[in-house]
Amino acid sequence: MKYSSRFFLWTPLGVFLALLAAAGIHWWVLASRLGAWLDAHNGGTVMPGVTMAFDSRSITGFPFSLDTEFHALSFTVMTPGGPTRWRSEHFAMHGLTYGRDETIFEAAGHQRLTWIDQGGSSHALDFAVGALHASAIVHRQGLDRFDLDLIGFGSKAFTAQRLQLHARQDAKAAQLFIAADGLSNCPRGRFRYAATVSAEQAFARLQRAEQSWPEAIAAWRAAGGTAQSDADGPLSGLAGDQALNPSALADAVCH
């Protein structure tokens, strides 16, 4: 075989192996950075007003995705009424090492939500879901879109066939959509809420994880922000500082 023939035979293979090695090194660097960041923030603050904790974690997905699985992951969010905490027995997030900055989230197993109502009383809700999926898209200016979809929500307090939350930022305003279907223990079996949020620039620091929820709400109010719904509904009169309070949400929807 001539040397020229060997060159054209082995060059594509060499290029492929070089690209594969580069992708592997890139994945290892990103996985190491992510792992170090998670370990450093475990039990601590991940952004103003939000703390994270987990019992264990693992990162897989070599060479083109970062798949992180957690056991006993919890987030605690400070709200104007007090801390709201969500704990998931099993939680996972998935992202690619290339392309747009989008992360997919999944939760399974036992879920627990604790919070403090407007009167200062503590509450806890244990529940399970058939499927919990969420996604977040981040652009240079911060969080651009968030979608949450729960199917088969079950608890002693109520059940739901499906619960949805969608929020996105466009050039002129922020759009919010909330929906619930198949509600039990509630006069409304279903509801829809769609709103356009003005003065959305007041949430810019929150979108960049530089500000807490109470601070963002205060800045939004100071800027004259409003949430204009497309029709009167159970959430139309809900104050912005109660948006993360399960008791306030339940009272608005079911009373």
Distances (CA, A) of 140 to 5, 35, 36, 95, 176: 48, 22, 23, 17, 21
Whole-angstrom Cα distance, residue 74 to residue 21? 36
Confidence band of 57 (pLDDT split at 50, 70, 90): very high
Task: Encode pLDDT of 134-177 as tens digits.
Answer: 999 988 778 889 999 999 999 998 899 999 999 898 767 788 88
Whole-angstrom Cα distance, residue 185 to residue 187? 7
Comparison of pLDDT for 249 and 183, the residue scoring more: 183
